[in-house]
A and B are shown apart, each in its own frame.
Chain A
Amino acid sequence: MRGIHVSADISTNDICTIDGVIKNYGNFRALHGINLTVKEGEFVALVGPSGSGKSTLLQVISGFEAATEGTLIIDGEDMTGVAPADRPTSMVFQKLALFPHKTIAENIGFPLKLRKVPKAEIERRTLDMIALMQLKPEYLTRYPAQLSGGEQQRVALARSMISHPKLLLLDEPLSALDVKLKKVLQAELKRLHRSLGVTFIHVTHDLEEAMMLADHICVMKDGLLLQLGTPDDIYYRPTHKFVAEFIGETNLFPVSVENNGYVATDMAGIQGHSSFGPEVAVHPQAYLMVRPEFVHMVGAGEELDVTLGVIVSETFNRGSTTQVKAVTKDGGHLMTLEIQGHIDAQIIVGAEIRVGWRDEDTHLFDRTTDTFQAAS
């Protein structure tokens, strides 16, 4: 497994089971039969472009939208016909939806007030939440508009968690924040998830955010769940060309797969041995995927599984890494390399360099269906 991924202790209990959920809006089908099981204590991210159905799925889980078909089981109970108020879920809204006419204390304590919890207990638990969210106790008597964006975010989280929901649903709550604050709150979310042990389902269009936070990522597109896996699965072993392109940068070359190897169909110099083994079907139309960080610079006399000469067309200094855009000698293909640290001074635009990659770092997709070729 590449990269280190630490996940919280996850029990084996299923907290949420989504089985064949279809959602129609008139003639438009927003969800095409989603199956998803979330384990207790997991942090799951639903990722996809707008219109992918990720928010709709969250609305179905929260109860604000009813599924047209399929079942939803939360904490062992069928949620069909159960109102949002009666579900063991709690939502953090995109626009936060803090009550502007209620003080911070009233906002946070509202779910408990509705459950007729005694006043003293509400007060105690509100203070606990304030401490957990690292908010100042003097904020309790203020109104939401008097707090900064980040503080309002913490209040919204506190309100969602005070009633100890089984499932915390986050509907892109960080999308409206500036980058710096976003980073702080992402770290905060991760800390909260670890310390509370509550199951989080987080909708976001920001893949980097999903990779940072989640134990499992569901990539959605056009109402379909394309891939469900760990961040490493999604990044290094995408099962779909869309997933590969959606997450990070990638190089895709059209190739044809022949017996025990592949050749680029219209690209001089690429001929690799297939490390995928005999299970890779012979396929005239495939894509070869190589992540930029696996395209290495190759010294003279050195050979990788695939080695070719390219011409540098652009370099981007990204601080810890340098990104190099290069074109194949015949000018037909652009590729992206990512190199750790700074590059040699002679690598300037127009210079010829030798690059290459190892076959085990590559991936093949069917060019007609865009799906992964082999189960490896």
Chain B
Amino acid sequence: MKQAVIRKGPDFRKSWHKFSKNYLSAVGLGVVALVAVVAIFAPYIAPYPTHAGFFVDYPEAHESPNWLHIFGTDQFGRDVLTRIMFGFRYSLMMAVVVLSLVVPAGVVLGLVAGYYKGSKVEMVIMRAADIFLAVPPLVLALSICSVLTPSVFNAMMAVSLMWWPWYTRLVYSISSSLRNEAFVQAAEIAGASPFHMIFREILPNCLGPILTKMTLDAGWVILIGASLSFVGLGAQPPTPDLGTMVSDGASFLPEQWWISIFPALTIVLIILGFNLLGDGVRDMFAAESV
């Protein structure tokens, strides 16, 4: 059975060309790649790998940025730069884990809800999504984390639990509007199974927005993770999480500003990187229009 005509997926070579011509997206990609590389190879490239965990060296404590410690040291004498590099690991891990859970679940739910629009299934799914979205995401995550033992793992679970509805809503709106398009109904008449309809006809048309959102979301997930740790409900000391570092260092403002400010700036950098990259991804898929 022939596949009905759908809007073609991106022509990758052309898209890459467009993407790389826009230098801002390339910058975004560069930043993200840098963060990823640093995160993966942190134990090998960080100047003081032992400082990542529990480590104390009081004579070296509170050193302002200098050649030995480019970002200075914190109150325990640990090198801030090293801890930031290790912190990238937790940030990226958060993004990867959360998105791997949330995207498949949310997308499938959205596809099903959109395809079976008007049925009980759709109602249940979308009402559930509405309930999870009734409260600002951070608040829900905070409360979930608070009833569990604070840890990186639990933080990831909490964020996943409140992130899925965004994808469901996104995909639902595309899926339900495509439901009545001619090409979908044509396939239906030809005897296609719902499985085929959902995954071979409708899903490809959602790819653009999904991928764009995923890229942008990576930054926001990292931000929420940092916010959770900032408050103390995510990673626990001595884990070198960016959020924990900002909050730990806050008590040393303004004299030893570097303990707090450098991690804070790297958070901004990561988010900016993902935002730039996400815009590039969006443009890549918008390449359809002349």
Q: Answer yes or no: do A and B interact.
A: no
* Residue positions of A touching B, CB distance < 8 A: none
Q: Identify the B interface with A (CB < 8 A).
A: none
